[in-house]
Structure 1
Amino acid sequence: MARTPRPSSCPARSSRTRRPRSRRCARCAPGSDPNLAPGPAGRSPAGPSLRRRSPERPTMTTHHSRARIGRRGLPLLTGTGAMTALSACADPAGPNAEPTSLPADVAAHGVDAEQLTMTVYKDASCGCCGGWVTHAEEHGFTITTEHPESLATVWQDHDVALDLQSCHLARNPDGHLFVGHVPARHVVEYLADPPQGGRGLSVPASPVGTPGMEQGDRFDPYSVMLITHGEPSVFAKVAKASDQKI
């Protein structure tokens, strides 16, 4: 005998309809706290298992390709930056830097490199003057060259008598004058122990064989004159070319 289906007391169950579940998470559900995160699976999101979500950290707005530095490149950049900072703060020449390093034979005379820093007044077209400048620089002098419109003004300004004049004049920071083709040897000897009342040295005219006036084996003996506030005197006699060497 077939059984007659028993009517259900619950219309909802008899219709076999189910309420669709919401796909919203606990944070997105209406009325929920966006700082709350759901607990472990199987527990109600409103239960005591909810934990406070830490505030989100601000993200960089710079593009990743620019903001990201490779691990291998970081030590290199750090080292380069450190070296740049050190080189910017360091004084490469030191607080007591000299204008130039003196050759041993020049330094042996006890002169200061600052004394060999000179300004040379000469005509722009004078080749023998350039030869003397080269000679001086080879012996550790630091030379600055000027080309005045008139050498006559230079002689007048420095009170150099006509019989002591030559093709150029060199002056150091202490005001000592070296006129003409004075060998570096005699310049150094003078500056190491300046004679009383001395203002400098001069080789009048341009003797052949002096530094900058070389002409093969030719050599004309000459005297190096001491410039004073009065009458000049002989500082040294140069009889042969070897007498000019330090």
Structure 2
Amino acid sequence: MRPLILIAGLCAGLAQAAEPISIDVHRDANCGCCKAWISHLQDNGFRVNDHVESDMSAVKQRLGVPPRLASCHTGVIDGKFVEGHVPAADILKLRQQPDLLGAAVPGMPAGSPGMEMGDRQQPYQVIGLDQQGKERVLGDYPGN
């Protein structure tokens, strides 16, 4: 019987490892690209808690998103902000960097997750913000 117990324990551990990562997303009710970004997150294994807001400026201010890094929607994961069309892979990078307050894709660059427009892709960067207000590049997407 012990081998069966071991196998059952391994299966339970794998099921726990596959549980989705939870992220809160704050967005305006009428924003289509915000919904598309949420779909990108869900397609990449995130569980999204969708919060429709009437005053996104107040949300961004409360979460400490600098105006220079602003976009249309704001996520929160592990107490850190995720501003704009940040790819799921870069959100995972953010989670591994305890010194960062958040990450952002400023503006709404074509080709970023949620802003797919055919083959067109503008260059963009994912910017991390540390506690001293210094920025560093977490991801660099060259465009076409």
TM-score of the superposition, structure 1-length normalised?
Answer: 0.50
By how many angstroms is 1:167 displaced? 0.4
Name 2:128's counterpart in structure 1.
226
Question: Which amino acid is the alignment partner of residue 184 of structure 1?
Answer: A
Aligned-residue Cα RMSD (Å) equals 2.2
Question: Are 2:87 and 1:183 equivalent residues in the alignment?
Answer: yes
Which one has more relative contact order, counting CA pairs under 8 Å at least 6 apart?
Answer: 2
Match of 1:150 among 39, 55, 80: 55
State which structure, 1 or 2, has the greater radius of gyration over its C-alpha atoms: 1
By how many angstroms is 1:211 displaced? 0.6
- State the alpha-carbon separation in 2 of the partners of residues 219 and 168 from structure 1: 20
Note the alpha carbon deviations across 1:193-216, whole angstroms, 9 max, x for none. 21x521121000100000110010
- State the alpha-carbon separation in 2 of the partners of residues 151 and 176 from structure 1: 16
The answer on whether the counterparts of 2:28 and 2:52 sit within 8 Å (CA) in structure 1 is: yes
Match of 2:117 among 215, 227, 238: 215
Listed as ranges, the gaps of 5+ residues in structure 2 are 1-11
- State the alpha-carbon separation in 2 of the partners of residues 148 and 132 from structure 1: 16
Listed as ranges, the gaps of 5+ residues in structure 1 are 1-93, 103-112, 242-246
The answer on whether the counterparts of 2:94 and 2:100 sit within 8 Å (CA) in structure 1 is: no
By how many angstroms is 1:190 displaced? 2.5
Note the alpha carbon deviations across 1:92-144, whole angstroms, 9 max, x for none. xx8xx75x936xxxxxxxxxx4xx20110000000000000000000100001
Question: Which amino acid is the alignment partner of residue 149 of structure 1?
Answer: S
- State the alpha-carbon separation in 2 of the partners of residues 159 and 125 from structure 1: 23
- State the alpha-carbon separation in 1 of the partners of residues 105 and 130 from structure 2: 14
TM-score of the superposition, structure 2-length normalised?
Answer: 0.83
By how many angstroms is 1:160 displaced? 1.0
Question: Which amino acid is the alignment partner of residue 32 of structure 2?
Answer: G
By how many angstroms is 1:220 displaced? 0.2
- State the alpha-carbon separation in 2 of the partners of residues 163 and 143 from structure 1: 25
What SS does the aligned partner of 1:147 have? strand
1:95-244 superposed matches below 5 A = 98=16, 101=18, 113=20, 116-172=21-77, 174-191=78-95, 193-194=96-97, 196-229=98-131, 230-240=133-143
> Which structure 1 residue ranges, 4+ long, deviate > 6 Å from structure 2?
none
Number of equivalenced pairs: 132
**Percent sequence identity over aligned pairs:** 33
